[in-house]
């Protein structure tokens, strides 16, 4: 069970770009599956050996679609994922810490093991126009996402987690 599951939600493209970059990095080292939060279910979580969750920060919390994913899956997998590794990436307009804390609380309930601090990329979108606009994540920041995906997949393959 060395597959990395990358679950993401994106409305304006930032989180999607981050998740796709992480997926590319993960595939360079092992097995990875990329799936939108709206399509992911308990069976996807159970089939994976580790997780990378990627979501935008909306109003200082996780996006609604990502929260819905956790709401739909929480109880069906409760008690069945203990000790599996996870990491998270947040695409934020400000600091992203609220969304990261919320996701970490959910992961703690599942008894997942955080293997790194949250990767938070800030777009500095602060006006309604900027918040709603399509995002373009700079290549240097996408490289951080690739590296995280690569490290997660390599860790699973090597049995480090």
Per-residue pLDDT of the chain (161 residues; tens, 9 = 90+): 699 999 999 999 999 999 999 999 999 999 999 999 999 999 999 999 999 999 999 999 999 999 999 999 999 999 999 999 999 999 999 999 999 999 999 999 999 999 999 999 999 999 999 999 999 999 999 999 999 999 999 999 999 98
Strands 85-92 and 61-62, bridge-based pairing: unpaired
Q: What is the set of domains in the chain, with CATH numbers?
A: 4-158 (3.40.50.360)
- Other beta carbons within 10 angstroms of residue 133's beta carbon come to 13
Eight-state DSSP code of residue 15: H
Please state whether the predicted TM-score (pTM) of the whole model is above 0.85.
yes
Please tell me the predicted confidence (pLDDT) of residue 1.
Answer: 64
Find out whether 121 and 10 touch, Cβ atoms under 8 Å. no
* Contact between residue 125 and residue 133 where contact means Cβ atoms under 8 Å apart: yes
């Amino acid at each position: 069970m060395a597959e990395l599951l990358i679950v993401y939600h994106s409305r304006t493209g930032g989180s999607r770009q981050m998740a796709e970059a992480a997926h590319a990095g993960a595939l360079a080292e092992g097995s990875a599956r990329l799936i939108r939060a709206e399509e992911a279910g308990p069976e996807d979580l159970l089939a994976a050996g580790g997780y990378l969750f990627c979501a935008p920060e909306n109003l200082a919390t996780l996006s609604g679609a990502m929260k819905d994913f956790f709401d739909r899956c929480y109880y069906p997998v409760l008690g069945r994922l203990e000790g599996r590794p996870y990491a998270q990436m947040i695409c934020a307009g400000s600091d992203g810490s609220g969304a990261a804390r919320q996701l970490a609380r959910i992961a703690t309930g599942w008894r997942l093991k955080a293997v790194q601090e949250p990767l938070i990329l800030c777009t500095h979108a602060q006006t309604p126009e900027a918040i709603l606009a399509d995002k373009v994540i700079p290549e240097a920041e996408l490289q951080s996402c690739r590296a995280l995906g690569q490290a997660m997949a390599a860790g699973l393959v090597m049995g480090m987690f």
